[in-house]
Protein backbone atom coordinates (compact mmCIF):
# COMPACT_ATOMS: atom_id res chain seq x y z
CA UNK A 1 0.00 0.00 0.00
CA UNK A 2 1.53 3.17 -1.09
CA UNK A 3 0.88 6.52 0.55
CA UNK A 4 2.21 10.03 0.79
CA UNK A 5 3.47 11.50 3.97
CA UNK A 6 3.59 15.27 4.48
CA UNK A 7 5.55 16.92 7.23
CA UNK A 8 4.86 20.44 8.55
CA UNK A 9 7.52 22.39 10.26
CA UNK A 10 6.52 23.67 13.69
CA UNK A 11 6.17 27.45 13.95
CA UNK A 12 7.61 28.97 17.09
CA UNK A 13 5.25 30.90 19.40
CA UNK A 14 4.75 34.49 18.23
CA UNK A 15 4.29 37.50 20.48
CA UNK A 16 0.60 38.59 20.46
CA UNK A 17 -0.19 42.28 20.17
CA UNK A 18 -2.48 43.26 23.11
CA UNK A 19 -4.54 45.44 20.75
CA UNK A 20 -5.57 42.29 18.82
CA UNK A 21 -7.07 40.67 21.89
CA UNK A 22 -10.75 41.18 22.68
CA UNK A 23 -11.17 43.34 25.74
CA UNK A 24 -14.15 43.28 28.08
CA UNK A 25 -15.19 46.70 29.31
CA UNK A 26 -17.25 47.22 32.42
CA UNK A 27 -19.37 50.39 32.52
CA UNK A 28 -20.39 52.22 35.62
CA UNK A 29 -24.01 52.30 36.63
CA UNK A 30 -26.09 54.29 34.14
CA UNK A 31 -29.12 56.31 35.23
CA UNK A 32 -31.90 57.00 32.72
CA UNK A 33 -34.10 59.95 33.63
CA UNK A 34 -37.55 60.34 32.08
CA UNK A 35 -39.78 63.39 32.00
CA UNK A 36 -43.53 63.17 32.15
CA UNK A 37 -45.22 64.51 29.04
CA UNK A 38 -47.23 67.67 29.61
CA UNK A 39 -50.95 67.63 29.09
CA UNK A 40 -53.21 70.30 27.73
CA UNK A 41 -55.37 71.71 30.51
CA UNK A 42 -58.33 72.28 28.15
CA UNK A 43 -58.28 68.67 26.97
CA UNK A 44 -60.00 66.65 29.67
CA UNK A 45 -59.01 63.21 28.43
CA UNK A 46 -55.94 61.60 30.09
CA UNK A 47 -53.70 61.74 27.02
CA UNK A 48 -50.28 63.26 26.39
CA UNK A 49 -49.48 66.00 23.89
CA UNK A 50 -48.16 63.49 21.37
CA UNK A 51 -51.52 61.70 21.47
CA UNK A 52 -53.65 64.85 21.21
CA UNK A 53 -55.02 65.43 17.67
CA UNK A 54 -54.43 69.20 17.76
CA UNK A 55 -51.68 71.58 16.64
CA UNK A 56 -50.53 73.20 19.84
CA UNK A 57 -47.64 74.67 21.77
CA UNK A 58 -47.05 75.07 25.50
CA UNK A 59 -44.73 77.86 26.65
CA UNK A 60 -43.77 77.20 30.27
CA UNK A 61 -42.48 79.66 32.85
CA UNK A 62 -38.82 78.80 32.14
CA UNK A 63 -39.22 79.62 28.44
CA UNK A 64 -41.00 82.86 29.33
CA UNK A 65 -38.06 83.89 31.51
CA UNK A 66 -35.33 82.74 29.11
CA UNK A 67 -36.89 84.57 26.14
CA UNK A 68 -37.82 87.59 28.28
CA UNK A 69 -41.47 87.40 27.26
CA UNK A 70 -43.22 89.97 29.42
CA UNK A 71 -46.63 90.19 27.74
CA UNK A 72 -48.93 88.36 25.37
CA UNK A 73 -47.81 90.45 22.40
CA UNK A 74 -44.46 88.63 22.40
CA UNK A 75 -45.87 85.11 22.41
CA UNK A 76 -45.23 84.80 18.67
CA UNK A 77 -41.53 84.48 19.54
CA UNK A 78 -42.23 80.86 20.42
CA UNK A 79 -45.21 79.97 18.25
CA UNK A 80 -45.31 80.15 14.46
CA UNK A 81 -48.48 81.12 12.66
CA UNK A 82 -49.66 83.66 15.27
CA UNK A 83 -49.98 87.29 14.15
CA UNK A 84 -50.66 90.18 16.52
CA UNK A 85 -51.89 93.59 15.38
CA UNK A 86 -52.04 96.76 17.44
CA UNK A 87 -55.24 98.83 17.49
CA UNK A 88 -55.42 102.28 19.08
CA UNK A 89 -52.24 101.71 21.05
CA UNK A 90 -53.78 99.56 23.77
CA UNK A 91 -56.04 97.01 22.09
CA UNK A 92 -54.77 94.09 20.08
CA UNK A 93 -56.09 91.65 17.52
CA UNK A 94 -54.84 88.09 17.26
CA UNK A 95 -54.86 85.89 14.20
CA UNK A 96 -53.84 82.27 13.78
CA UNK A 97 -52.96 80.85 10.38
CA UNK A 98 -54.31 84.02 8.78
CA UNK A 99 -57.78 83.65 10.31
CA UNK A 100 -59.66 85.75 12.83
CA UNK A 101 -61.61 84.14 15.63
CA UNK A 102 -58.73 83.44 18.00
CA UNK A 103 -60.26 83.17 21.48
CA UNK A 104 -58.40 84.39 24.57
CA UNK A 105 -58.76 82.47 27.84
CA UNK A 106 -57.59 83.15 31.37
CA UNK A 107 -57.24 79.95 33.40
CA UNK A 108 -59.62 78.34 30.94
CA UNK A 109 -62.28 81.09 31.24
CA UNK A 110 -63.20 83.02 28.10
CA UNK A 111 -62.33 86.71 27.77
CA UNK A 112 -65.36 87.89 25.82
CA UNK A 113 -64.01 91.40 25.35
CA UNK A 114 -62.25 90.16 22.24
CA UNK A 115 -65.63 89.12 20.80
CA UNK A 116 -67.36 92.40 21.65
CA UNK A 117 -64.72 94.82 20.39
CA UNK A 118 -62.98 92.53 17.86
CA UNK A 119 -59.86 93.14 19.94
CA UNK A 120 -58.77 92.85 23.56
CA UNK A 121 -56.68 94.91 25.99
CA UNK A 122 -53.57 93.17 27.24
CA UNK A 123 -51.25 93.76 30.17
CA UNK A 124 -47.83 92.58 31.25
CA UNK A 125 -47.45 89.01 32.40
CA UNK A 126 -47.57 88.72 36.16
CA UNK A 127 -47.79 85.41 37.97
CA UNK A 128 -48.08 83.52 34.68
CA UNK A 129 -47.17 79.84 34.93
CA UNK A 130 -47.51 78.92 31.26
CA UNK A 131 -49.30 79.78 28.02
CA UNK A 132 -51.12 77.23 25.87
CA UNK A 133 -51.60 78.00 22.17
CA UNK A 134 -53.88 75.90 19.97
CA UNK A 135 -53.95 76.62 16.25
CA UNK A 136 -56.88 75.70 14.06
CA UNK A 137 -60.61 75.17 14.71
CA UNK A 138 -61.12 74.37 18.39
CA UNK A 139 -64.80 75.02 19.04
CA UNK A 140 -65.20 71.44 20.23
CA UNK A 141 -63.14 72.39 23.30
CA UNK A 142 -64.55 75.76 24.38
CA UNK A 143 -67.58 76.52 22.23
CA UNK A 144 -68.32 79.14 19.60
CA UNK A 145 -65.97 81.43 17.66
CA UNK A 146 -62.75 79.45 18.08
CA UNK A 147 -62.14 79.35 14.34
CA UNK A 148 -58.52 80.50 14.30
CA UNK A 149 -57.46 78.93 17.58
CA UNK A 150 -57.09 79.47 21.33
CA UNK A 151 -54.61 81.25 23.59
CA UNK A 152 -54.99 80.14 27.20
CA UNK A 153 -52.99 82.02 29.87
CA UNK A 154 -52.55 79.96 33.05
CA UNK A 155 -51.50 81.62 36.30
CA UNK A 156 -49.51 80.18 39.18
CA UNK A 157 -51.67 78.72 41.91
CA UNK A 158 -51.33 79.27 45.68
CA UNK A 159 -49.36 76.70 47.63
CA UNK A 160 -49.13 75.84 51.32
CA UNK A 161 -45.34 75.70 51.00
CA UNK A 162 -43.80 79.13 51.60
CA UNK A 163 -41.61 80.40 48.77
CA UNK A 164 -40.44 83.76 47.42
CA UNK A 165 -38.92 84.47 44.01
CA UNK A 166 -37.62 87.66 42.43
CA UNK A 167 -36.15 88.69 39.09
CA UNK A 168 -34.61 91.90 37.75
CA UNK A 169 -33.77 92.44 34.08
CA UNK A 170 -32.13 95.32 32.21
CA UNK A 171 -32.41 95.77 28.44
CA UNK A 172 -32.00 98.18 25.56
CA UNK A 173 -33.54 101.66 25.50
CA UNK A 174 -33.34 101.94 29.29
CA UNK A 175 -35.69 99.04 29.84
CA UNK A 176 -36.01 97.80 33.41
CA UNK A 177 -38.16 94.89 34.55
CA UNK A 178 -38.76 93.81 38.14
CA UNK A 179 -40.77 90.76 39.17
CA UNK A 180 -41.53 89.55 42.69
CA UNK A 181 -43.73 86.64 43.74
CA UNK A 182 -44.63 84.98 47.02
CA UNK A 183 -46.86 82.13 48.13
CA UNK A 184 -47.62 80.38 51.38
CA UNK A 185 -50.25 79.44 53.93
CA UNK A 186 -52.32 82.02 55.81
CA UNK A 187 -54.04 79.34 57.87
CA UNK A 188 -54.48 75.56 57.74
CA UNK A 189 -57.28 76.02 55.19
CA UNK A 190 -56.23 79.17 53.25
CA UNK A 191 -53.24 79.59 50.93
CA UNK A 192 -52.27 82.77 49.09
CA UNK A 193 -50.34 83.82 46.00
CA UNK A 194 -49.17 87.40 45.30
CA UNK A 195 -47.14 88.56 42.29
CA UNK A 196 -45.97 91.95 41.06
CA UNK A 197 -44.42 92.99 37.75
CA UNK A 198 -43.15 96.48 36.95
CA UNK A 199 -41.76 97.56 33.57
CA UNK A 200 -40.28 100.89 32.55
CA UNK A 201 -38.79 101.63 29.13
CA UNK A 202 -37.95 104.63 26.95
CA UNK A 203 -38.79 102.57 23.87
CA UNK A 204 -37.12 102.64 20.47
CA UNK A 205 -39.06 105.80 19.65
CA UNK A 206 -40.67 108.58 21.68
CA UNK A 207 -43.10 106.20 23.34
CA UNK A 208 -42.30 105.76 27.01
CA UNK A 209 -43.77 102.65 28.60
CA UNK A 210 -44.56 102.24 32.26
CA UNK A 211 -46.70 99.45 33.62
CA UNK A 212 -47.39 97.98 37.04
CA UNK A 213 -49.40 94.78 37.36
CA UNK A 214 -50.42 92.78 40.41
CA UNK A 215 -51.86 89.27 40.55
CA UNK A 216 -53.40 87.89 43.75
CA UNK A 217 -55.10 84.56 44.42
CA UNK A 218 -56.51 82.73 47.43
CA UNK A 219 -57.06 79.00 47.76
CA UNK A 220 -59.62 78.02 50.39
CA UNK A 221 -59.93 74.37 51.34
CA UNK A 222 -62.53 73.88 54.06
CA UNK A 223 -61.83 71.19 56.59
CA UNK A 224 -63.95 68.07 56.67
CA UNK A 225 -66.95 68.02 58.96
Return the bridge partners of 133, or none: 57, 151
Place 108 in a pLDDT band, splitting at 50, 70 and 90. Answer: confident
> How confident is the model at residue 89, as a pLDDT?
60
Order of strands, edge to edge, in the sheet holding 55-60? 55-60, 128-135, 149-155, 102-106, 109-110
Place 5 in a pLDDT band, splitting at 50, 70 and 90. Answer: very low
Q: Can you tell me the mean pLDDT for 188-208?
A: 86
Nearest-angstrom CA–CA distance, 69 and 126: 11
Place 26 in a pLDDT band, splitting at 50, 70 and 90. Answer: confident
User: Does pLDDT of 109 surpass 70?
Assistant: yes
> How confident is the model at residue 134, as a pLDDT?
87
> How confident is the model at residue 217, as a pLDDT?
94
pLDDT in tens, 170-188: 988 888 999 999 999 999 9
User: Does pLDDT of 196 surpass 80?
Assistant: yes
> How confident is the model at residue 195, as a pLDDT?
94
What average pLDDT does the structure give for the chain? Answer: 78
Q: Tell which wins on pLDDT, 143 or 2.
A: 143
> How confident is the model at residue 4, as a pLDDT?
47
User: Does pLDDT of 121 surpass 70?
Assistant: no
> Taking Cα atoms as reference points, which of 208, 193, 109, 123 lies closest to residue 151?
109
Nearest-angstrom CA–CA distance, 213 and 5: 104
Q: Can you tell me the mean pLDDT for 90-96?
A: 74
Q: Tell which wins on pLDDT, 131 or 119.
A: 131
Q: Can you tell me the mean pLDDT for 93-109?
A: 81
Return the bridge partners of 185, or none: 191
Question: Would you call 1 helix, strand, or coil by DSSP?
Answer: coil
Highest-pLDDT range among 21-25, 42-46, 84-88, 194-198: 194-198
Length of the chain: 225
All domains of the chain in start order, with CATH? 52-155 (2.170.130.10), 163-220 (no CATH)
> How confident is the model at residue 214, as a pLDDT?
92
**Percent of the chain with pLDDT strictly greater than 70:** 72
pLDDT in tens, 151-160: 899 999 999 9
For 118-208, strand residue ranges (E) read 120-121, 128-135, 149-155, 163-171, 175-187, 190-201
> How confident is the model at residue 44, as a pLDDT?
63
Amino acid sequence: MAGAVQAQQAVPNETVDPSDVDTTLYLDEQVVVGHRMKRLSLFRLPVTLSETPLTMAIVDSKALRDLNITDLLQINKTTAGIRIMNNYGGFHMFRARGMDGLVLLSNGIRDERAEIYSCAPTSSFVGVDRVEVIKGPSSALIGHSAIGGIINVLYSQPSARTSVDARIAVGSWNTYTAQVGATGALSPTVNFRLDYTGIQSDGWRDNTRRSNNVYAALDFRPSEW
